[in-house]
Amino acid sequence: MSAVTDNKSHHRFELEVDGHVATEHYKLDGNVITFEHTEVPTELGGKGVGSKLVQGALDQVRAAGLKLIPQCPFVKAWINKHPDYQDLVKV
């Protein structure tokens, strides 16, 4: 598995695995980022790729000092399971 990268021109974080790309689509408005949709190719399902993608993306959000709106249900559920990322959520 490669590292999570921020494809700013396509407004998405990407994680390439075995020739397939999982994506986390976002919208950036000032210092607030909204995670809109997570896509994991069927070939990568059940391998923890979505979780690795979300964690890598959130680590970059934290490093950039941004606040998060977790619009995507997968991201909301992931944050609920990982309370150490709750501080990123915009209240």
Dump pLDDT digits (tens) for 10-40: 999 999 999 999 999 999 999 999 999 999 9
| Confidence class for position 91, pLDDT limits 50, 70, 90 | confident
Is 5-88 in CATH node 3.40.630.30?
yes
Per-residue pLDDT at 89 exceeds 90: yes
pTM given for the model: 0.95
Parse the chain into domains and list their residue ranges: 5-88
Q: What is the DSSP string of the chain?
A: ----EEEGGGTEEEEEETTEEEEEEEEEETTEEEEEEEE--GGGTTTTHHHHHHHHHHHHHHHTT-EEEE-SHHHHHHHHH-GGGGGGB--
pLDDT at 1: 65
pLDDT digits (tens, 9 = 90+) for 54-73: 999 999 999 999 999 999 99
